[in-house]
A and B are shown apart, each in its own frame.
Chain A
Amino acid sequence: MSLEILGITVLWTFLYGYLIVASIDFGAGFFSFYCKVKKEDHLVNSIIERYLSPVWEVTNVFLVFFFVGLIGFFPSTAYYYGTALLVPGSIALVLLSLRGSFYAFAHYGVRNSMLYTGVYGLTGLFIPASLATVLTISEGGFIRETNGLVEFLSDQLLKSPYAWSVVILAIVSILFISASFLTYYADKAKDRKSTVIFHKYAIMWSLPTIFASMLVFFAIYQHNPEHFQNMLDISWLFLLSLASFLVALALLLKKKHYGWAFVMVMLQFAFAFYGYGISHLPYLLYPYITISDSINSPVMGKALVTGFIVGLCLLIPSLYLLMKMFLFDVKYVQGKEKAVQR
C-alpha cells in the first residue's frame, strides 16, 4: 500500500470512529432536550448520562486526531482549507466549545435549566451540519484560487442544493445512529421505559436516513458527475450498506437483538462512508489537492506511520478497557454501581 493511501485510510477510519461516537453523543443531547420539552426527561436521562459521562472527552479527541493527522499527512490541506474556512470553521469551533464545556459544567447544578439543555441539544444538530459542510466543500466549486489567493464562495454554498442535502443527511443519520445505540444500551440496562422511547425514535428516523442518502446521491450527480461516476463503479459497497440497513430495520421491528441491530447500523454507515471516501480519491479537494501531490515527505510519512502503530498499541487495549468498564459491564450499565464522581 502506498504511503498516501495508508495515511488517508488511517485518517478516514478515525473520522468514521468520530462519526459513530459523536453521533451517539449529539443525538443523545438532542433527545434529552426533546424529552425535556415533552416532559419525559426523567425517563431517559439516567441512561444518557450513564453512557456519556465517562466518554465525552474521548469523543472530542477523535475529531482532534482527524484534523491534526490530516495536516500532518497532507500539509497543503492546511493552506487551502485553512484560508477558506476561517469563518465557518470558527463558528463550528465556538459551537463545539460551548457544547463541550456545557457538558462538564452541567454536572454541577445547571442541569435543570431549560436554556442549558436547549443549547446542548441544539448545538448537537448544528455542529454535525457544519462539519458535514466541510465534506461538501471538498467536492469543489466552493473554493477558488486566483493568482495564489484562496477564496471561499460562501453564497455559492448557501445556494447549493447539494450542500443542503448533505446537511439533512447528517442530521437524520445522527438521530438514527444515536437512537439505535441508546435502544441497545437501555435494553441492556433493563430499563423498559427508556427502551420503548428510544426504540420509537430509532424506527422513526430509520426511513428518513435512506431517503436523505438517496437525495445526496441525486445531488452529487448534479454537482460533481465525476465523483458520481466513481461511486457507480463501486456501487456494490452502497448496496451492502443498504442491505445492512434492511437487516438492522428488520431486527428493530422484531424488537430483538438490539446489539446486532446497532452493529448493522454501524456497518450500514461504514460501507457508505468508505464507499464515499474511496470514490472521492484521489482528490482531497476538487480540483486543487490530490493525495499524491500533497503527501508529506516519505521520511516524515514513515515516522507518522510508526508513531501511529506505537500509539495504537497503547490505545486499543485502553479503549477496550474503557468499553469493558462502561459499556459492557452489566452492573455499571444497570446503575447498580453508583458513579460517585459525577
Chain B
Amino acid sequence: MYARILTSLTLGFHIIFAVLGVGIPVLISIAEWLGIRKKDPRYTQMAKRWSKGFTVTVAVGVVTGTCIGLQLSLLWPSFMKTAGEAIALPLFLETFAFFFEAIFLGVYLYTWNRFKNPYLHWAFSIPVIIGSTASAFFIMTVNAFMNAPQGFSLENGSIVAIEPLQAMFNAATPSKAGHMIFSSYATSAFVLAALAAYKLLRGNATAYYKKALQLTLSLALIFSLGTALWGDIAGKYLAKHQPEKLAAAEWHFETKGEAELIFGGVLDEETHEIKYALRLPYALSVLATNTLDGEVKGLNEVPEDLRPPLFIHYLFDGMVAIGGYMIIVPVWYFVRKKWLKKEASPWELMFIIGGAPLAMLAIELGWIFTEIGRQPWILVGYMKTTHAVTSATNVGEMLALFSLLYLFLAVVSTSILLRIYKQPVVMDKVYPSVTGGESR
C-alpha cells in the first residue's frame, strides 16, 4: 500500500513540474519570436522572465523525474522485470529526448546576447520544445502500454515474442499522448496568464502586462480547445478498449444506446440509483461513439472484482468541468475586448487567475482518474497491481522521507519563484543587442 502511495505522491508532484516543463518552452519560444518579428522588446522580456522562472521549475522537474525513474524499479521490481522487456524502448528513447532538451536548454539560457542575428538564438528554443514534447510523448506511450498492453505474448509469467514498435504504438498511445501534450500547453498558458492578470489586478497596468495577458490567453484558448477535442478522442478510445473505465466514470450500468451523460450526483451503491445529477441526454453516446444512438457498454457486464472504484466519476466530472471553464474564460475575455472594446474587469482577472490552479487541478484529477480507473490492473488484462509490488520492508519510512523532500522542494521553489516574480520588469533600451535583465 505504501508503495502505491509513494508512487502516486512522486508522480503527482512530478507532473506539476513536468507539465510546465513541456508547456512553457512553447510559450517562451512564441514570445521571443514575436519580439523579433514585431521589434517589440516587451515580448523579448517576457521570454526572458519566463525562462528565468523556467530554470527553477525545470530543476525540480529533473530531480523528481530522476526519483520516479529509479522508484519504478525500487518499488515495482516485478513489474519492471516483466514489463521492462516490453517498455524498454520508449523509456530509453525518452532519456535521449531529455538529453537533447538538456543540451539545448543550456545553450538557450546562456546565449541571449551572443548572436548578431536574433533568430539564431530563437532557433535554439526549437530543439528544447522538441525534446520536452518528445519526452512527454515517449513516457505517455509507456503509460498507454499499461492501459492497452499489446505487441507481445505471455508465457509462464514472462513476456516473449516482443514487437517493440507495436508495444509502443498501442491503441491508447494517440489519445493519451495527444491529450496530455495539449493539456500541458494549455495549463502552462493559464499559469503564465494568471501571473500577468495578478499584476494587472494589483493596478500594475503597463503595456507589458497587457500584452502578456493577451498573448497567453489567446494561446490558452487554442490549447484548451485542443485539450477538449483530444479529450473527446480519449473518450472514444476508452469506449472501445477500456469500457469498464468509462462506465465507472459515468456510473453507466446497463449496456444501451442513446446513453445519457451524468454529471455530479450521488450514487446509491446498492440500488445503483443516482440522485441530484445533471443529465445530458445522448451525450455519453456521442462521447463514446460520435452518434446519438451508439451503444455504450455498462458496468453490469464486468465481473465485480474487475470493476474500477466508482468514485472516479467525480474525478472525471471535475476534469471536464474545468475543461469547460478553461475555454469559457478566454472566450469571454476576447468577446469583451474585441466587440465591446473593454479592458478586463477585476472580476475577469480573478477568473483568469483562478484558471491556473484549476488547470493544474484538472491535470491531477485526470491522472488520478486514469490511474485509479485502471485498477485492479497494473498491466490491464495481464498483471494485477498486488503482484507487482516490492517485497522489501521500510517502504513506509521511505514514504516519510520523500514526503519531506517534496515538501521542502515545494516550499523553496515557490519562494524563489515569488522572488523572481517580484523583480520589476526592466525593458531593454537598445534592440536587438539585448543587455538588460541581469538577475544580479
Contacts and interface: CB of A to CB of B under 8 A. Distances in A.
B205 interface: no
Nearest to A323: B103
Interface stretch (B210-218, B253-261, B393-401): B393-401
A247 B268 CA distance: 80
Given A68-B92, A105-B413, A340 B390 contact: no
Interface string B71-82: 101111110111
Contacts of B75: 82, 86
A326 B89 contact: no
Nearest to A85: B74
A91 B398 CA distance: 8
A150 interface: yes
Interface stretch (B30-38, B55-63, B286-294, B355-363): B55-63
A253 interface: no
Contacts of A240: none
B127 interface: yes
Interface stretch (B110-118, B305-313, B327-335, B336-344): B110-118
Given A96-B63, A108-B419, A326 B106 contact: yes
B390 A54 contact: no
Contacts of A54: 106-107, 109-110
Contacts of A103: 59
Contacts of B111: 325
Nearest to B105: A57
Contacts of B107: 54, 321-322, 325
B93 interface: yes
B89 A72 contact: yes
A69 B437 CA distance: 40
Contacts of A232: none
B164 A300 contact: yes
Interface of B: 48, 51-52, 55-56, 58-60, 62-67, 69-71, 73-78, 80-82, 84-86, 88-89, 91-96, 98-100, 102-107, 109-114, 127, 159-165, 390-392, 394-395, 397-398, 401-402, 405, 408-409, 412-413, 416, 419-420, 434-435, 437-440
Given A64-B98, A80-B77, 13 more contacts: A53-B110, A64-B95, A82-B390, A86-B392, A86-B398, A100-B59, A105-B413, A296-B84, A299-B164, A300-B89, A311-B99, A325-B111, A340-B438
24 contacts: A53-B110, A57-B59, A58-B99, A58-B106, A60-B63, A61-B98, A61-B102, A65-B95, A80-B77, A83-B390, A97-B67, A107-B55, A150-B391, A297-B162, A300-B85, A303-B88, A308-B92, A318-B104, A322-B106, A326-B110, A338-B113, A340-B438, A341-B52, A341-B439
